[in-house]
């Protein structure tokens, strides 16, 4: 039976708003197609003293259009569209794996239950990344690991806000 929580917009808004992006990738978003790794730590629903860790990769497309004033073609030049879309339109496509269960591991996504509480797991993740000198991985804290795609969406939006401000 599907979880009715996914139909509760207030709950999903709460998860989105309470998600904390602890660490953004220092390398930022680059112009070509690339992969953006992330580690998400969230509370395990049935055992609040334990956490769930989700490690995944977001596939990021190249910019579809580069705004005028910068080098590169406009939307109209790429797609032959000159009337409908504003010529300064810039877009990206993001994709990531989604799993409804929290017992999955693949090349693209790893979801593991942890015995540590979420703050302890977060400290372990940050220490691991510092020791390995990893700078391209984002770290996210979710208030509810069941809704990690909502928290990953928050992460993507924060990165996009930063990219388009520049």
Q: Is the predicted pLDDT of residue 127 greater than 90, yes or no?
A: yes
Confidence tier at 163 by pLDDT (50, 70, 90): low
Calculate mean pLDDT across residues 36-41: 92
Calculate mean pLDDT across residues 3-8: 68
Q: Is the predicted pLDDT of residue 16 greater than 80, yes or no?
A: yes
* Low-confidence winner among 65-74, 114-123, 124-133 (lowest mean pLDDT): 65-74
Calculate mean pLDDT across residues 28-56: 81
Calculate mean pLDDT across residues 157-163: 76
For residue 97, the model assigns a pLDDT of 53
**DSSP codes of every residue in 73-133:** --HHHHHS--SSS-TT-----EE----SSS-EE-SSEEEEEESS-HHHHHHHHHHHHHHTT
**pTM score, whole prediction:** 0.70
pLDDT in tens, 90-116: 455 555 555 444 444 556 778 888 999
141's enclosing H/E stretch is strand 138-142
- Distance (Å, rounded) from C-alpha 156 to C-alpha 105? 22
What's the mean per-residue pLDDT of the chain? 75
Q: Is the predicted pLDDT of residue 122 greater than 90, yes or no?
A: yes
């Amino acid at each position: 039976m599907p979880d009715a929580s996914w139909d509760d917009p207030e709950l999903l808004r709460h998860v989105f708003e309470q998600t904390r992006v602890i660490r953004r990738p220092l390398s930022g978003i680059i112009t070509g197609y690339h992969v953006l790794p992330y580690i998400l730590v969230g509370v395990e629903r049935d055992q609040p003293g334990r956490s769930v860790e989700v490690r995944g990769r977001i596939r990021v497309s190249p910019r579809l259009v580069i705004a005028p004033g910068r080098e590169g073609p406009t939307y109209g030049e790429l797609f032959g569209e000159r009337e409908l879309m504003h010529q300064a339109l810039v877009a990206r496509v993001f994709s990531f794996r989604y799993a409804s269960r929290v017992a999955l591991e693949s090349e693209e996504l790893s979801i593991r239950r942890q015995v540590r509480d979420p703050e302890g797991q977060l400290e372990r993740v940050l220490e691991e990344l510092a020791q390995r000198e990893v700078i391209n991985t984002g770290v996210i804290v979710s208030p509810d690991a069941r809704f990690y795609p909502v928290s990953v969406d928050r992460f993507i939006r924060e990165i996009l806000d930063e990219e388009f401000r520049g």
